[in-house]
Chains A and B, each alone.
Chain A
Amino acid sequence: MQDFIVREEDSAISCTFSSTLDNVDKAVESIKFFFSSREIHCRQFELIYILREALNNAVIHGNKKNSALKVSCTIGVDQNVVSITVTDQGKGFDWREQIMKGPVSTDSSSGRGLKSMAHFGFEIRFNDSGNTLYLTKKII
C-alpha cells in the first residue's frame, strides 16, 4: 500500500498517510497548494497552524508514531465554512477531560495543541472514542 495518498475534488482535499512527521509536512504542503489553486481566501496561517496541530496530535498521540497506522484528513469548504476532519487508528482518548482542563501554563513545554484550536475560533468536536476530530470555522 502507498505511504501517502492524496485525492482532490472541487471543494475538498483528502490525504491518507502513514504516521510520520514528514508525512504531516507533506500533507500540509498538498493542502496549501489546494487552497491557493482554488483561490480559497482565508487566514492561511491560522488554518495551517490548526491543521498541523490536528495532524501532529493524530500522528504523535493517536497513533504513537507507529508508521503501520494511518492518519486520514479531509478539508473542505462549503458556503464559507471550512471543515477539517482528522482520523487516526489509535484507541482514542478522554477528550472531555482534556477540554475541561484549565489554561496551559506559559512555562509548560507541551499541552498547547488542543487549546490553540479554540484560540483561533475553531469549533471542536470529537467522535465518542476521541480518534476522530472535527473542526469547523466560518472563513469570510
Chain B
Amino acid sequence: MSLIERKNGVVTMKPGIDIVASQCAGLKQEFLEIINSGEKKIIIDLSGTEMIDSSGIGLLISIRNSLANNGGGEIELINLTEDLRQLFKVMRLDNHFKIS
C-alpha cells in the first residue's frame, strides 16, 4: 500500500516498492482512486523504487492518459535513481513526464 499525502491541491504518492508486473494491478487501483477523487496534480515519489519494468511504464502512461481524459492534469516523478532516469530517457519518455 502506497503512502499518500494530500497538501494544497497536490497529491504525493510514494509506492515504496518496485513498479513491476506483479504489483501493477494493486497500484493501478490506488492511482484510479486518486484520479476519480478529482485530483489534478499527482507527484509520484520513487524513493524506494529501484525497478520499473515495461508493465510499470505502461501503468504510468495509462494513468497519465486517464488524467488527460478526466479533464487534464499533471504527473511529476521525483526521487528517481540514476538508472530509472536513464530508462525514461532511453524509452523517450522523459518528455512525457515532468521528472525532477
Give me the interface of A with B, judged by CB distance under 8 Å: 21-22, 24-25, 45, 48-49, 52-53, 56, 59-60, 106-110, 112-113, 116, 119-120
C-alpha spacing A119/B83, complex, angstroms: 14
With a CB–CB cut-off of 8 A, which chain B residues contact A60? 21
A76 to chain B, nearest CB (A): 22
Given contacts A106-B61, A112-B54, 11 further A-B contacts (CB under 8 A): A21-B22, A25-B22, A45-B87, A49-B51, A56-B53, A106-B93, A107-B65, A107-B96, A109-B61, A110-B54, A112-B58
Smallest CB-CB A-B distances: 4 pairs? A21-B22, A109-B58, A112-B54, A45-B83
Give me the interface of B with A, judged by CB distance under 8 Å: 20-22, 50-51, 53-55, 57-59, 61-62, 65, 83, 87, 90-93, 95-96
C-alpha spacing A58/B62, complex, angstroms: 23
With a CB–CB cut-off of 8 A, which chain A residues contact B53? 49, 52-53, 56
With a CB–CB cut-off of 8 A, which chain A residues contact B20? 24-25, 52
On whether A52 and B91 interact (CB within 8 A), knowing A45-B83, A106-B96, A112-B57, the answer reads: no
Number of A-B contacts (CB under 8 A): 57
Q: Are A21 and B21 touching (Cβ within 8 A)?
A: yes
C-alpha spacing A25/B58, complex, angstroms: 18
With a CB–CB cut-off of 8 A, which chain B residues contact A113? 54
C-alpha spacing A15/B41, complex, angstroms: 42
With a CB–CB cut-off of 8 A, which chain B residues contact A52? 20-21, 51, 53
With a CB–CB cut-off of 8 A, which chain A residues contact B57? 112
C-alpha spacing A45/B61, complex, angstroms: 21
Select one of A25, A59, A116 contacting B54, CB under 8 A.
Answer: A116
B19 to chain A, nearest CB (A): 11
On whether A22 and B96 interact (CB within 8 A), knowing A49-B53, A107-B61, A109-B62, the answer reads: no
Q: Are B54 and A56 touching (Cβ within 8 A)?
A: yes
On whether A45 and B91 interact (CB within 8 A), knowing A107-B65, A110-B58, the answer reads: no
With a CB–CB cut-off of 8 A, which chain A residues contact B95? 106
Q: Are B58 and A116 touching (Cβ within 8 A)?
A: no
